[in-house]
Chains A and B, each alone.
Chain A
Amino acid sequence: MNKRPNILFINTDQQSWNAVSAYGNPYIRTPNIDRLHRNGTSFMRSYCSDPVCAATRSSWATGLYTSETGVPFNGGHMHEEIQDIGQTLNTSGYKAFHCGKWHVPGRNVRESFHTLYYGKRDIGAGGGEYYDSASTHAVIDFLTTYDGNAPFYLQIGYVNPHDVCEYLHNHEEKRVPNPLEQGIITEDELPPLPENFHYDESETVLQQVCRRTDDALIHSAILNGVRNWDEFQWRYLIWNYYRFIEKVDTEIGIVLNVLEQTPFCDDTVIVFSADHGEACGNHQMFQKFTLYEESIRVPFIVSCLGDGVPVQKNRFDREHFISGVDLVPTVYDYAGIDAPEAVRVERGEIPRLGGMSVRPLAEGDEIPWREYAYVESNYWGRAVVADRYKYVTEYKPTDPEDFRPPGPDASRLGRAQLFDLQEDPWETRNLAGQSGYEDVLDSCRADLLAQEARLNRWQIEHPNPRNVISNWGARLRVGWDGLSVS
């Protein structure tokens, strides 16, 4: 590769890692994501930095974890001092374009990128039914007219399958008749109930207060709606979820088909991923926010439709832990530019701060790599996913909150979940309280604290996220007080 490649980052919203037909899922057809896999390497241990839209997208924009960006949940405010990927590329010989969903509060996408399309009404969280098709039109227009004077970085933010959230809102207050009983759909079309539908209820207080109690902090109306669902309703949710993914797969297919007809095809590296997954009945949960695999594990493919960019094709990488913070260093590596100091990692260096370039792995090189993925959630939630064990925990809220994302502080750690992913990949048995696992738990906790010691967690100054942290913290303290009383 003699010249700097074009870089196309295609992302979907709320797509779990296993919702791809090339990965063996028989209930969905994704011929175009499959095509990306056939022309590239699929990283099967890929984790978002934080399982909600705004937070993880702030990592995509900066290469930093969400406790560092100022967006540690849906609705933070990006620290103004942090340079984003659009700003960097636009001053480094690239032209950086954005199309579709952005959802990074506090950062104006139109100031950081050349925007192809961001909606007539700015794209917020949802609306794939309307926005995705227009995004594809904008990308077709771009790919077929771009002068090519400078290499481009184009990120396409598709909204679907996020519209499954609208499906769930649909069910807040009413019951839709069973299409199975109506003869509209057949039993063999429906995916089975997830193997972890019945789960170990010893979860963190954060998870319970946010997602399980009657007045849950997050989408309690949906929770109250789905509580009375029977097995069919959960399976039908999964069925519908897959239709949303098929919709966005079609959009991706049009983009790939057009790219293939342009002079850019050979010299364009394509990165495909999703901002987070979808619970979809796993652990009897819906949407994202939680730290279970279905919510935090996402597809990540590095691909090239031509031969101009070296990429190992039709290959699964089941070994390396990829993180959402790896996007920025990967793009900078392909672009051949120096990353800002905060995210700079030398090739082959284990990262001290942020992400690592996935490029060497996509090319088939063996290099030193991280031994676990680190994920944050809802400001106080944390997870470490290692080769065999997965550790989920939380920080207790303080009174008053100091608005500096918590960690590393062993004295403030709350409840824990420990899963043996080798024996229990569906995370159904919490081993944290069981004898014989004390050393494993200690080791995971040490990894967590060591990782967090490397982070640059700035105090959050913006009043909007401060209000959320205060309100949620108060509710969490009530949850903890209840535990101590009982």
Chain B
Amino acid sequence: MNNSEGLHWSFDYNYGAQNPHFAQQLVETFLGFYADPRAGRIGAEAVGHVYDIFPNYWRGYATGAHLQDNLSLGEAVIKRQQADDARWHYTIQYTNTTSGEDLQLRFHTADDPHRSLTGKWYIQAQNDCQDSYSALACEGQRVADEIRLIVNHAEITVGTVQKDTPFTCNWALFDVIPALSGAIQGSGEVVEMALLEDLEKLRPVNRIGFLESIRLHETQLDGYYLYGEGLLPSYWWLDTHGNVAIFANFFQTFVLREIVGGRA
């Protein structure tokens, strides 16, 4: 904790010329959630987490005619439910007001700490830009070691992952990191795993480790880092209930705004 407004360096957007003020909006969102008694809900039992997306040194949102009072770049809604066969069924709704991309991602994982990707997965992208591209649907699956995608009848292989390598979607990390946090923090070791970013881009070599613990406006947060090939370093801040309260890379910051469902 060495920067302005008591924010951690990993999500301290202090670019001097920016208006409106990032810290104020981040803290308002953060405190708005943790002031709610339902924030005591156990993260793993929640059905959905809703995040506001703020910039973190990304300045393009507020240039020229796009200058606005609200810093939000969109939102991400992460929903998961356990099916009768014990697998987890995820639905991700990601809306980005800068790119115009509205992603719906659907996938299943095993009920293991790594939330290993199983079966088929689906990407539905929509975009409301004023150009000819408007939508794309894609389906994927793992065939032996190969990660395959099918889009408009074209089938491609995006890479291979060895069967014994832990492998999941980056969006499942909102559950994986809480699940592994105790082991990581206790042992001081790192966890290595392969990731399928947004269900389409294979990041075969990644590691997750413990960073440090902080208090943000009286809330205890434990920080974990994710480093990998082809990934921006990112930092994941967990509250004491196992919710990812803040996720940040230097480009953007996700701040937990709401929990949907689950036991209070």
Contact = CB atoms under 8 A, between A and B. Distances in A.
Interface of A: 29, 99, 110, 114-121, 124-127, 129-131, 133-134, 137-138, 140-145, 163, 166-167, 169-170, 172-177, 179, 182-185, 221, 240, 243-244, 246-247, 249-251, 253-254, 257-258, 260-262
17 contacts: A29-B229, A115-B131, A119-B129, A121-B97, A129-B252, A134-B125, A137-B136, A138-B132, A138-B136, A141-B133, A144-B152, A170-B56, A173-B14, A184-B225, A240-B233, A258-B154, A261-B154
B156 A250 contact: no
A174 to B, nearest CB: 5
A142 B56 CA distance: 32
A129 B98 CA distance: 11
B63 interface: yes
A144 to B, nearest CB: 4
> Lowest 4 A-B CB distances belong to which pairs?
A120-B100, A138-B133, A144-B152, A246-B230
B64 to A, nearest CB: 8
Interface in B200-221: 200-202, 209, 211
Contacts of A258: 151, 154, 156
Given A137-B127, A172-B15, A124 B63 contact: yes
A137 B129 contact: no
Contacts of A142: 132-133
Given A133-B99, A142-B133, A169 B59 contact: yes
Contact of B66 (A121, A130, A170): A121
B3 A174 contact: yes
A119 B61 CA distance: 12
B98 A184 contact: no
Given A29-B229, A119-B98, A176-B9, A254 B132 contact: no
A163 B251 contact: yes
Given A121-B66, A174-B2, A185 B227 contact: yes
Contact of A173 (B16, B125, B151, B198): B16
Interface of B: 2-3, 9, 12, 14-16, 56-61, 63, 66, 73, 96-101, 125, 127-133, 135-136, 138, 151-158, 198, 200-202, 209, 211, 225, 227, 229-233, 250-252
Nearest to A143: B154
Contacts, number: 169
B131 A116 contact: yes
A250 B131 contact: no
A194 B176 CA distance: 38
A117 B133 contact: yes
Contacts of B233: 179, 184, 240, 243
B151 A116 contact: no
Given A133-B201, A137-B127, A254-B156, 9 more contacts: A121-B97, A127-B58, A133-B99, A140-B151, A141-B152, A143-B154, A177-B9, A250-B201, A258-B154
A179 B63 CA distance: 32
Nearest to A221: B16
Contacts of B131: 110, 115-118, 138
A127 B60 contact: yes
By secondary structure, the B interface counts as loop
Given A163-B251, A174-B3, A246-B229, A120 B128 contact: yes
Nearest to B10: A176
Contacts of B209: 183-184
Nearest to B227: A184
B138 to A, nearest CB: 8
Contact of B127 (A120, A253, A261): A120
B63 to A, nearest CB: 6
A118 B9 contact: no
B136 A140 contact: yes
Given A129-B251, A133-B99, A134-B99, A115 B132 contact: yes
Nearest to B61: A121
A465 B30 CA distance: 43
B135 to A, nearest CB: 8
Nearest to A244: B232
A254 B201 contact: yes
A115 B127 CA distance: 14
A114 B198 CA distance: 28
Contacts of B127: 117, 120, 134, 137-138
A257 B227 CA distance: 26
A254 B156 CA distance: 8
A240 B234 CA distance: 12
B60 A257 contact: no
Interface centre among B14, B158, B232 (most CB of A within 10 A): B232
Contact of B9 (A120, A127, A129, A174): A174
Given A130-B99, A172-B15, A173-B16, A121 B60 contact: yes
A166 B230 contact: no
A120 B58 CA distance: 16
Contacts of B232: 129, 240, 243-244, 247
Contacts of A120: 97-101, 127-129
Contacts of B58: 126-127, 129-130, 166
Nearest to A114: B132
A336 B152 CA distance: 31
B14 A174 contact: yes
Contact of A126 (B16, B59, B130): B59
A142 B198 CA distance: 20
Contact of A243 (B9, B14, B66, B229): B229
A261 B149 CA distance: 12
A145 B202 CA distance: 25
Contacts of B59: 126, 166, 169
A116 B127 CA distance: 11
Given A116-B132, A138-B133, A257 B251 contact: no
Contacts of A257: 156-158
